Structure 1
Amino acid sequence: MAIKLPLRFRLLHLMSTRNQANVHDLMKELKAEYGNEGQFSVKSFEKHLTSMRASGLIQEIDVDIDAQGKLLETFTITDFGRGRLKYLPASWK
C-alpha cells in the first residue's frame, strides 16, 4: 500500500480522479483512510477546500443548499492543481 499522504495532498489527489466533488463526496471516499483522525470533520474539510481554492488548486463549479439547509459547494481540480500532483510520492502517481 502507498504511504499515507497529508490530508490536503490526498484531497488534491482524489479531486484529480473525479470530474467534480463536494465535501460530502470527499468525506465518504476518505472515511476508511482518515476517519479516525481529529481533522476528519466537515469543518476541517471545508477549511482545506477553501484554502485549496484560494491557492488555485481547485475551483468552484456549483453552489447548492444541502439537506440541512447549508451551503454546498462543488469543486473541480484546475490545471494548476494537476501540475502540483508531480510533487506526490511515486507510489501515488
Structure 2
Amino acid sequence: MEKSRIVFQARDERNYHIFYEMLSGLPPQQRQAFYLQEAETYYYLNQGGDCGIAGKSDREDFLRLLAAMEILHFTPDDQASIFRVLSSILHLGERLLPKI
C-alpha cells in the first residue's frame, strides 16, 4: 500500500476500497474482535467526505473478495491476519495523527 494514499485523501476521494469493504462486510463478531466501528469514524477514511460511492455496494464487493480468497486457498487464519493488519492501520491513524 502506498503510504501517502493511506494517510491523506483529497475531497471526494476515498482511501483503499478494502477498508470500506472490510468495515461493511465483516460479521459483527469479527468487527467486535478487531474493535472496528463505522467507516465515517476513522480519520484515514473520512477526510475525503462521504465514505460511500453512489451505486456501489462495499458489502457485495467484500463478499466477492472473500470468494476470491477462497479460490486462492487463503485459510480462515490467513484472512483473519489480513483483516487484523488492516484494522491495525485504521487504529494507528486514530492514535498517531494529529487532527487538523
Range into which the TM-score falls when normalised by the shorter chain:
0.3 to 0.5
Q: Comparing both structures, which one devotes a greater share of its residues to helix?
A: 2
Structure (1 or 2) with the greater strand fraction: 1
TM-score by length of 2: 0.35
Could you tell me the TM-score, scaled by structure 1's length?
Answer: 0.36
Higher-Rg member (1/2): 2
